Structure 1
Amino acid sequence: MMKKVWIGACCLWINFGAVAQNAGKLPYDPATRYSVPQLQADFAFLRRALEEAHPGLYWYTPKDSLDLYFERTAAALSHQMGEEEYWGLLQTVVARVHCGHTRLQHSPAYRAWSRQQPHYIFPFTVAIRQNRLFVAANQSTDPTLRPGTELLAIEGHPAREVLAGMRVRLSGDGYGFGFQDQQLEAGFFDNTYWSLYEAKPTYELLVQDSTGQQRRLSPQLQRPASAAATPSAKMPLSPAQQRDRQLARRRSLSYPAGLPATAILRISSFDYDELEDYKNYHASVFAEMAQRKVRRLVIDLRGNTGGNNAIAIDLLKYLLKRDFALTKSALTPVFAPSFMPLGQDSDSAFDTTNVKRLPNGLFGFAAATVGKQTPYRQDYFRGKVAVVVDGGTFSAASNFAASLRAQRHITVLGQESGGAEAGANGGIISAIALPQTQLVLQLPHFRLLSACARPQLGRGVRPDIEIIPTPRQLASRTDAVLLQPPRILRGRR
């Protein structure tokens, strides 16, 4: 059985076939070991799926190099393995595709089991700077573990070894590690560490402070104080109020003091389910800025991992004067992958309504978000535009920044985006269960190119003015961009 779920401009296919076969089996047992034939069968299935249907398999990794990684992985399948070891082996080779939308997840049974296990989390968050680990926020009982303290080793493992091992197990676009590092900084450090090393109640650290003094410590997690027993006096929020609060966290408009005629539009997500709300919001924002005679607009896309391309296009319609493109093409090598049996749904996503055969033998995604777009006639923003990006700016958000800069003079601030300047693999994304182990391969089907005519291969959208927050700024939530001299936001370039 296969199920499809339409999500905004994209379609997510979920293959329940192999998952359904496993539905009646016992929950995950950490003692389970898969035989060599089972491991080989699932790996062969995964490799065939990638080679047949992935639209950008050799975009960043040449075929001979990827074949070598595949062959080395196959040779390593020489003994029985549990799911954790097998996942680590396969995800490492999947990450070699250098596509942030292509990744391998644990089986549903493993994930359900894992959520019930005790987790010995680290008593700090991290900042990654120049391939080094630093404490960003101290959550331990040791007040000397200050933000900015460098982590030299964890349980005797050098920090560079730890970071390198983590990065190769996280998928990201191109050759940089901005997206992977953003995930580690945002909360995936603990889980990724556990996939490599033992989880323990406390961890011995070798740290170095700003004076160069080194010391060893084993900090304990600071437990939050118990909530008061008395009930809260606040009235519970209605569903509509909860939705409004969520949307307010995703986008906001402000007018910073000391920067006259300047507006900052913060968008943390192109949320799939809220297209009409975003369109209405954009209309009100640009009408308000016109009324206030705003001459400088800063669009803050830090941490925006993408979402609905239609939202990005709607925003571009206020920023570009002539016909434009967010995605100039979306191509796939096959009409319908052989490992995804069709015909059960007459309105399949892989039909001639959504996938068109092209003269060159490839197939194109026939979505309204691909190709030429027409701007709005009213409330076009004529002033100077700056866009703020970082490693968390990914997918539709990085495509927005790349395509806007390709079609209008803007200033890009911050850090290199996690999403590639050239575009991304996406459009339709499948979740495919491997038959034996039930590990789930997330597989995009279309190669979407941004409007950038000459992107630098394997790199993200690189800032004109690089601004990197320090670990102390991360801990205190100080905005490093807005601390810069006002002349930057006034668009001196």
Structure 2
Amino acid sequence: MKRIYTAVLPFFLLFPFLSLSQDAKELFEGKVATDVLKNNVDQIYTDLKENHPNLYKFISKRALDSKFDSLKGTIGVPISRMEFRYKVLTVLQKIGDGHLTLTMNGSHISSEDYQNYIGKKIRPIDQFSFKVLDMRLYIFESSINADIKPGTEIASLNGLPAREVITKIFDGICVDGYNLTFKYYSLNADMFPNFYTNTFGRQDSIEFEFKGPEKKTIKIKSILPPPGLVKYLPTRLPLYYFSKDKSQVTITIGSFGSTIQPDYQTLFNSLKTYGTKTLVLNLRDNLGGEPINATKLFSYLISKPQYFARVPKDVLNDPKKTPKESLKIGITSKINPAENSFQGKIYLIVNGGSFSATAILAANLQASNKDIVIVGEETGGGREGCTGGLFKQTQIEGSNLSLRYGQVPFKSFKEVPRDGKGVMPTHEIKYTIQDYLLNRDLELEWVFKDSTESK
């Protein structure tokens, strides 16, 4: 396993560095006048009303109008841009669009200025990796504080109960519909420190209260990285591997966004040559990508022509929203089964990180294949579809925010209830903190046991 260590940069994923001029400290800590922020709220809502195709899908216009009016009412004094960003996100997440983002625009900050601002010290929240399970918070890795053992449950941070910490972070994460698994995935993908900092601000001292027979409270402060400190990177599964007798194959697709996709033709030719009867398709942590890549895989998993998604005709005919013909594949005409499409049993493994085109693919497989077993947890992406395709990005002046969302309302090919859920598993898997500490893969364990017993 490759080992490296890098200090976690709480805001790094929020913005690009494009040019020089603005001061980083001013951007993140400077207060913005109330009239500017209230105007920004109006700008954001006006932009959404004019351009978002599914704005009132999961919330009524009246309710959303009220939310934005109430938001302006909470801005009584100048606040920082990060505080304002969080306030706006608590309203945006009511829309039920997991592709909707609101990020800091740091285009006027130099990389050097940003590095000087965050400093070289590792802040308390960045000294650990965490797991969030059933609204409970655990230490998963403790590279610096050896006295705090992995698996220790956290009761509170700076006096705020862990459940309230998690709830406040969840309130600022946009998801499809009413999904929760995508929120858990976001925090458990080694991103809890980032979300914590973006929600509660940079903290150079945090009082950790731990659960246990003897309740222990420790104040942890920022420190310089000890020499030789390493951070463990997760081990990735190989693209595919066969069982010894070639009767079963496990294929892991980590993304549909890469320009380099698997050679499906060669792979599925091998399945036919070997007489492989069982396919285990692992789409966990696959956040989607280009629909054309998902449709290509879909063609090897169907037995008759199928649509991949549905999009309103007016959107398809609008070159500003669907300028690329690749966005129309599987929508304006059916996808034909590939020459060596797989006709055996399929185990589909998904989790909260199965999002966007991946969730649509999972919904389509569930609808079109009776001999499929879905293992894991509810997908993070909606089973009904998503709002993606071509994205619109609007710069919000004053608060230095960037609003981004899709303009194409995709729906999976089969009508499903508008209940705000993802694709539900046939067999649900739930992890404990001990499972994570033992590095178990409960989904694959269950699949291999079930497939063996089914022979």
Say yes or no: TM over 0.5: yes
Aligned mates of 2:70, 2:321 — CA distance in 1? 37
Provide the residue aligned with 2:239 in structure 1: 252
Aligned mates of 2:127, 2:282 — CA distance in 1? 30
Aligned ranges 1:108-127 → 2 under 5 Å: 108-109=106-107, 114=114, 116=116, 117-118=118-119, 119-120=122-123, 121-127=125-131
Aligned mates of 1:98, 1:160 — CA distance in 2? 22
Q: 1:331 to 1:50 in 2, by over 3 A?
A: farther
Aligned mates of 1:191, 1:160 — CA distance in 2? 17
TM-score (norm 1): 0.78
Provide the residue aligned with 1:266 in structure 2: 252
Aligned-residue CA RMSD (Å): 3.2
Provide the residue aligned with 1:185 in structure 2: 188
Q: Secondary structure at the match of 1:484?
A: helix
- Would you say 1:140 and 2:102 are equivalent positions? no
Q: Which of these residues, 197, 200, 203, is aligned with residue 200 of structure 2?
A: 197
- Would you say 1:459 and 2:421 are equivalent positions? yes
- Would you say 1:422 and 2:384 are equivalent positions? yes
Q: 1:26 to 1:131 in 2, by over 3 A?
A: closer
Provide the residue aligned with 1:27 in structure 2: 23
8 Å CA contact retained: 2:246, 2:275: no
Provide the residue aligned with 1:231 in structure 2: none
How far has the Cα of 1:490 moved from its partner? 5.4
- What amino acid maps onto 1:350 in structure 2? K
Q: 1:320 to 1:265 in 2, by over 3 A?
A: same
How far has the Cα of 1:402 moved from its partner? 0.7
Provide the residue aligned with 2:280 in structure 1: 298
8 Å CA contact retained: 1:426, 1:446: yes
Q: Secondary structure at the match of 2:239?
A: strand
How far has the Cα of 1:475 moved from its partner? 3.5
8 Å CA contact retained: 2:150, 2:437: no
- Would you say 1:74 and 2:72 are equivalent positions? yes
- What amino acid maps onto 2:366 in structure 1? R
- Would you say 1:162 and 2:165 are equivalent positions? yes
Aligned mates of 1:302, 1:137 — CA distance in 2? 22
Aligned ranges 1:394-409 → 2 under 5 Å: 394-409=355-370
Provide the residue aligned with 2:334 in structure 1: 373
- What amino acid maps onto 1:226 in structure 2? G
- What amino acid maps onto 1:424 in structure 2? C
Residue-pair matches, total:
426
Provide the residue aligned with 1:7 in structure 2: none
How far has the Cα of 1:198 moved from its partner? 4.7
Provide the residue aligned with 1:393 in structure 2: 354
Aligned mates of 2:249, 2:316 — CA distance in 1? 45
Provide the residue aligned with 1:359 in structure 2: none
How far has the Cα of 1:33 moved from its partner? 2.9
Q: Secondary structure at the match of 1:483?
A: helix
How far has the Cα of 1:63 moved from its partner? 1.9
Task: Name the structure, 1 or 2, with higher relative contact order (CA <8 Å, separation 6+).
Answer: 1
How far has the Cα of 1:95 moved from its partner? 1.6
Provide the residue aligned with 1:443 in structure 2: 405
Q: Which of these residues, 271, 290, 305, is aligned with residue 308 of structure 1?
A: 290
Provide the residue aligned with 1:46 in structure 2: 44
- Would you say 1:413 and 2:399 are equivalent positions? no
How far has the Cα of 1:139 moved from its partner? 2.6
Aligned mates of 1:443, 1:331 — CA distance in 2? 20
8 Å CA contact retained: 2:393, 2:404: yes
Q: After superposition, what is the alpha-carbon deviation per residue over 1:232-279, rounded to whole angstroms, capped at 9, x for unaligned? A: xxxxxxxxxxxxxxxx9686001246x8611110011112423xx43x
How far has the Cα of 1:488 moved from its partner? 2.5
Q: After superposition, what is the alpha-carbon deviation per residue over 1:195-240, rounded to whole angstroms, capped at 9, x for unaligned? A: 333533453222224xx55322346889565399xxxxxxxxxxxx
Q: Secondary structure at the match of 1:481?
A: helix
Aligned mates of 2:54, 2:310 — CA distance in 1? 16
Q: Which of these residues, 282, 297, 320, is aligned with residue 350 of structure 1?
A: 320
Aligned mates of 1:213, 1:412 — CA distance in 2? 42
How far has the Cα of 1:461 moved from its partner? 0.9
TM-score (norm 2): 0.84
Q: Secondary structure at the match of 2:285?
A: coil
Provide the residue aligned with 2:105 in structure 1: 107
- What amino acid maps onto 1:83 in structure 2? R
Q: Secondary structure at the match of 1:406?
A: helix
Provide the residue aligned with 1:345 in structure 2: none
Aligned mates of 1:96, 1:32 — CA distance in 2? 28
8 Å CA contact retained: 2:305, 2:336: yes
Q: After superposition, what is the alpha-carbon deviation per residue over 1:346-387, rounded to whole angstroms, capped at 9, x for unaligned? A: xxx5179669xxxxxxxxx97234243332442121110011
8 Å CA contact retained: 1:103, 1:441: yes
Q: Secondary structure at the match of 2:311?
A: strand
8 Å CA contact retained: 2:287, 2:355: yes
Q: Which of these residues, 405, 426, 445, is aligned with residue 483 of structure 1?
A: 445
Provide the residue aligned with 2:176 in structure 1: 173
8 Å CA contact retained: 2:301, 2:337: no
Aligned mates of 2:300, 2:43 — CA distance in 1? 46
- What amino acid maps onto 2:412 in structure 1? S
Aligned mates of 1:252, 1:291 — CA distance in 2? 19
How far has the Cα of 1:99 moved from its partner? 1.0
Provide the residue aligned with 1:5 in structure 2: none
Aligned mates of 1:306, 1:491 — CA distance in 2? 32
Aligned mates of 2:434, 2:95 — CA distance in 1? 34
8 Å CA contact retained: 1:331, 1:447: no
- What amino acid maps onto 2:277 in structure 1? R
Q: 1:489 to 1:322 in 2, by over 3 A?
A: same
Q: Which of these residues, 434, 437, 440, is aligned with residue 472 of structure 1?
A: 434
Q: After superposition, what is the alpha-carbon deviation per residue over 1:147-190, rounded to whole angstroms, capped at 9, x for unaligned? A: 2x221111211001100000111111111221122111112211
Q: 1:129 to 1:110 in 2, by over 3 A?
A: farther
Q: Secondary structure at the match of 2:334?
A: coil
Aligned mates of 2:361, 2:174 — CA distance in 1? 21
Provide the residue aligned with 1:243 in structure 2: none
8 Å CA contact retained: 2:394, 2:403: yes
Aligned mates of 1:227, 1:158 — CA distance in 2? 30
- What amino acid maps onto 2:228 in structure 1? S
